[in-house]
């Protein structure tokens, strides 16, 4: 049986790891835009705010999101859309879907491409204010990793470049 696996890392504000896990489970169970066939909270890999690996994991998550964002922007650039004005002529189809995914990442809509997701601020990044707060706090925040699964291969319109798919 085929299974497509996706990884997410959630920043959660909670007083205990168990409450952090329940927030992530509730979010993934009720979120309207993404439905997984199954997901697993990796409880033993969860990092508390004062865990020595917390900041490295957080920065890795943000970096991964930036890499995805840069990749989408590069896709548009390769097709000749390099400035905001060029978007006036963006055709509907694959390229407009890429632009849509860029908007989702910037707007804070969770999706399958979200490596890191900040449940505190509903964002793919972290505000300077929250970053400062995290540096001052001793407890109350967790990075909760999740593996999620689709039982069918993802060949959605939004995720396949025609050039890559048709090997153009």
Q: Give the model confidence (pLDDT) of 113-122 as tens digits.
A: 999 999 999 9
Q: Is 36 exposed, middle or buried (0-12, 13-18, 19+ CB in 10 A)?
A: buried
Evaluate if residue 162 carries a pLDDT over 70.
no
Would the pLDDT of 136 be above 70?
yes
Per-residue confidence band for 3, with pLDDT thresholds at 50, 70 and 90? confident
CB neighbour burial string for 1-19, b if at least 16 within 10 angstroms, e if fewer: eeeeebebbbbbbbeebee
Distance between CA 56 and CA 39 in Å, rounded? 24
What's the whole-model pTM score?
0.88
Establish how many alpha carbons lie within 13 A of residue 158's alpha carbon, considering only the half-sphere containing its beta carbon: 11
């Amino acid at each position: 049986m085929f299974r497509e696996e996706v990884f997410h890392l959630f920043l959660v504000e909670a007083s205990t790891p168990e409450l952090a896990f329940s927030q992530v489970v509730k979010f993934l169970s009720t979120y309207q835009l993404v439905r997984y066939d199954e997901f697993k909270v990796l409880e033993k890999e969860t990092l508390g705010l004062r865990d020595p690996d917390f900041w490295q994991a957080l920065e890795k998550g943000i970096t991964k999101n930036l890499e995805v964002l840069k990749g989408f922007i590069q896709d548009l650039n390769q097709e000749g859309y390099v400035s905001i004005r060029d978007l006036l002529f963006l055709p509907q189809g694959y390229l407009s879907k890429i632009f849509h995914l860029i908007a989702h990442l910037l707007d804070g809509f969770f999706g399958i491409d979200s490596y890191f997701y900040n449940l505190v601020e509903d964002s793919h990044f972290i505000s300077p204010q929250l970053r400062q707060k995290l540096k001052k706090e001793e407890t109350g925040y967790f990075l909760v990793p999740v593996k999620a699964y689709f039982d069918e291969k993802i060949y959605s319109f939004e995720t396949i470049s025609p050039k890559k798919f048709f090997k153009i």
